[in-house]
Structure 1
Amino acid sequence: MDAIFDLIKEVFTPVLDMGGPVIMLIILTVLALLFGVKFSKALEGGIKLAIALTGIGAIIGMLNTAFSASLAKFVENTGIQLSITDVGWAPLATITWGSAWTLYFLLIMLIVNIVMLAMKKTDTLDVDIFDIWHLSITGLLIKWYADNNGVSQGVSLFIATAAIVLVGVLKIINSDLMKPTFDDLLNAPSSSPMTSTHMNYMMNPVIMVLDKIFEKFFPGLDKYDFDAAKLNKKIGFWGSKFFIGFILGIVIGIMGTPHPIAGVEDADKWRLVIRGWLSLGLTAGVSLELFSLIGSWFIAAVEPLSQGITNVATKRLQGRKFNIGLDWPFIAGRAEIWACANVLAPIMLIEAVLLSKV
């Protein structure tokens, strides 16, 4: 068994090392070709998707670089000492993809997805292969715990596989249920194939329950509309993406400044401080605008595949519609995501501070 996994890993490792965008370029291009799309159109869609993913990653990197320094200054200014650093998802994904068991879990979920499609238990074809690491890390932790607590190798693998299949089926079903919501958020027609099997959206059932609770006990909250597009129509640029980002950037900049501002005694130093605030504001503003622009690239990227699927479904499957499960960034054009992220960043920092005192 180990020899088989080593061989599979040796074959796939060079591809996996290319990163998520390149993997998705290959997958989308090959998938479009399988559905009868011309090579030039299939390749065009694959490249557009890879560019969109690369663009989203670049902007997130820019935001992390700009804001992490300010938040680090906040920690320094307040004298708070937290001994554990959350390094984000990237190192964890790298470690997970380094295990041959990830390829095994990927194969299992491909089979499960195909069976669900054949049995008409889902209309979603999950092509977000890179993010199989979300499921894989769960399986690896379960297997590691079982192996270290006297459970035999075969039983621990069975338990881990069962857990992966259970969560995997739920996330695929969830992507079907979320499809109309994604269409609404993107102003896309129902014929659009885009949905997401990303694990983040598994929180939606919980959010829906909380929404019902808020409607019941806090009905006044529904009077406030935080939809950026609607705000923009009502109050002009005050509700625009770039202005929301601009203000949030300045607020985060102020958080990273000592209060009272130590050593700022003359006009030149004040100008430097204010320039730093405005720079963060402009960085956040341009980021929200670029997120919206790049979000539209995802729609263009899947158009060739969408047409190919429609043609095949019409000819051979009595017009059955299929959805394509993508990574989460196809919805990144919504400014509310980044406004919430920027608001939640300092809140989570405060939570970390409070929990460290418990």
Structure 2
Amino acid sequence: MEILNWILGLGASVMLPIIMFFFGLIMGAGLSRSFKSAITIGIGFTGINLVINLLTSELGPAAQAMTERLGLDLKIIDIGWPAMASISWAWVASALVIPIVLVINFIMLTLKLTKTMNVDLWNYWQFAFVGAAVTAINGSVMWGLVAAGLSSIIALVLADYTQPYIEKFFGMPGISLPHLTALGFMPIIIPLNWVLDRIPGINKLYADPETIRKRFGVFGEPMSMGLIIGLLLGIFGGLGIEKVLQLAITMASVMYLMPKMVAILMEGLIPISEAARDFMTKRFGDRQIFIGLDAAVSLGEPSVIAVGLLLVPITIGLAFIVPGNRILPFADLAVIPFIVCLITAMSKGNVIRSLITGTIVMTLVLLFATNLSPAETIMAMDAGVQIPEGATQIANLDRANFITWALVRIFSLF
């Protein structure tokens, strides 16, 4: 566990460059090219994290102000994904998750059951969470490990399925997202999109950032959209004029800077992706291998950030009106763009369609988070984490997706 904690403590911005450096060497990219690409990837990922942290730090106070104005009295506290990741890694069998998931990935690649090589080791905690939650409910470590392994298999299969959207919409050839935060609602989103395509009126509604830009000029620019969204969030939260203006500039900065940071990351990824494609072509003909990454690489698309930010006040409003919800959304509101990135891609950037689907999804997120909170509270207590004052239980929005919830509930029966 000490070795595992040391490796995980490096963080994704250090781990990913190291992994990609050695992967580049194996794929024949050469020492110089692999080194430069790895460092560029690290810089890009660091930039993305800086922008995400900026978003998180500003959204938190605004969300808290909005919930206070609405008078929400919800006793399950959203502690956020970083805290839940630490709790998941404290699971007694967490040290086995990384080797198990790597072996599963290797076997599936060998048997051609997947094209994705999941190098996003940091987010293996999402698989550990499934196992830890199962163990918290039924006490079985064995069934917890089986559930964790199965969740990684599902992630690889869905990463392959959604890869064409990543390549076409985000312009990222050879990249897939075996990230359960983004993939977790695919079993619901796919049929839901089919239904929406057949509802008269709704299937004709369309507005993407380019359409908005043409219609509204400078006010349709991504940074202007961020500015307006920030102003609205601040006003709804009843913040003072100074805080409202600061929030507006921050949201404008997020909308402007995120595509720049993702572009830097892609600058580093493309040479290694090309080397991997050449390597596979020489040895295995036309077989493709996708590099599986964190969904953070999708946040450079303005429509993803716009939909994510617009869903923040919608989610807080839903918390007030959805029957059965007991969670106070707070720390994980900045995760919403990760949840809706593939929704937006499958909607071809259609902000209206994405908001409709996203609202349905966030309703389910609140209900799943409420349902999983007893297990997460047990996990936290087992890890020695103190429950926040005023809360009866803890939960988070990041893990409250359909696949995670379904696996935890099914394997908890054994």
Identify whether the pair has TM-score above 0.5, normalized to the shorter chain. yes
Quote the Cα distance in structure 2 between the aligned partners of 1:346 and 1:185: 26
Determine whether 1:346 maps to 2:305.
Answer: no
Residues 356, 220 of structure 1: alpha-carbon distance in 2 compared, 3 angstrom cutoff: closer
Cα displacement (A) at 1:13: 2.6
Q: 2:61 aligns with which of 41, 63, 69?
A: 69
Q: 2:20 aligns with which of 28, 34, 47?
A: 28
Quote the Cα distance in structure 2 between the aligned partners of 1:71 and 1:54: 25
* 1:225/1:231 contact within 8 Å kept: no
Quote the Cα distance in structure 1 between the aligned partners of 2:277 and 2:67: 53
3-state SS of the aligned residue for 2:94?
helix
Determine whether 1:317 maps to 2:284.
Answer: yes
Matches within 5 A, 1:184-333: 184-188=168-172, 192-199=173-180, 200-217=182-199, 219-257=200-238, 273-333=240-300
Mean Cα deviation higher: 77-86 or 127-136: 77-86
Cα displacement (A) at 1:197: 0.3
3-state SS of the aligned residue for 1:125?
strand
Matches within 5 A, 1:49-128: 49-99=41-91, 101-128=93-120
Q: 1:173 aligns with which of 131, 138, 157?
A: 157
* 2:93/2:141 contact within 8 Å kept: no
* 2:93/2:145 contact within 8 Å kept: no
Aligned AA for 1:231?
Answer: I
Quote the Cα distance in structure 1 between the aligned partners of 2:175 and 2:237: 39
Quote the Cα distance in structure 1 between the aligned partners of 2:248 and 2:201: 31
* 2:262/2:300 contact within 8 Å kept: yes
Quote the Cα distance in structure 2 between the aligned partners of 1:297 and 1:336: 19
Cα displacement (A) at 1:306: 1.3
Quote the Cα distance in structure 1 between the aligned partners of 2:3 and 2:70: 50
Cα displacement (A) at 1:11: 2.9
Residues 324, 86 of structure 1: alpha-carbon distance in 2 compared, 3 angstrom cutoff: same
Deviations 1:324-355 (A, max 9, x none): 00000111111122222222111221222335
Deviations 1:68-120 (A, max 9, x none): 22222223334433333212100111222234522312111111111111111
* 1:37/1:305 contact within 8 Å kept: yes
Residues 298, 230 of structure 1: alpha-carbon distance in 2 compared, 3 angstrom cutoff: farther
* 1:139/1:160 contact within 8 Å kept: yes
Deviations 1:15-72 (A, max 9, x none): 2211121111211111111222222221222222222222222212212222222222
Quote the Cα distance in structure 1 between the aligned partners of 2:127 and 2:215: 43
Structure of greater Rg: 1
* 1:244/1:339 contact within 8 Å kept: yes
Quote the Cα distance in structure 2 between the aligned partners of 1:157 and 1:82: 32
Q: Which residue of 2 aligns with 1:159?
A: 143
3-state SS of the aligned residue for 2:185?
helix
Aligned AA for 1:203?
Answer: F
Q: Which residue of 1 aligns with 2:354?
A: none
Quote the Cα distance in structure 2 between the aligned partners of 1:193 and 1:351: 37
Unaligned stretches of 5+ in structure 1? Answer: 1-8, 148-155, 259-272
3-state SS of the aligned residue for 1:324?
strand
3-state SS of the aligned residue for 2:117?
strand
Mean Cα deviation higher: 77-86 or 287-296: 77-86
Quote the Cα distance in structure 2 between the aligned partners of 1:201 and 1:182: 12
Aligned AA for 2:142?
Answer: F
Quote the Cα distance in structure 2 between the aligned partners of 1:87 and 1:96: 13
3-state SS of the aligned residue for 1:216?
coil
Q: Which residue of 2 aligns with 1:39?
A: 31
Cα displacement (A) at 1:183: 1.2
Residues 99, 162 of structure 1: alpha-carbon distance in 2 compared, 3 angstrom cutoff: closer
Cα displacement (A) at 1:234: 4.9
Aligned AA for 2:177?
Answer: S
* 1:143/1:157 contact within 8 Å kept: yes
Cα displacement (A) at 1:317: 1.3
TM-score (norm 2): 0.73
Quote the Cα distance in structure 2 between the aligned partners of 1:100 and 1:169: 22
Aligned AA for 1:350?
Answer: G
Q: Which residue of 2 aligns with 1:267?
A: none
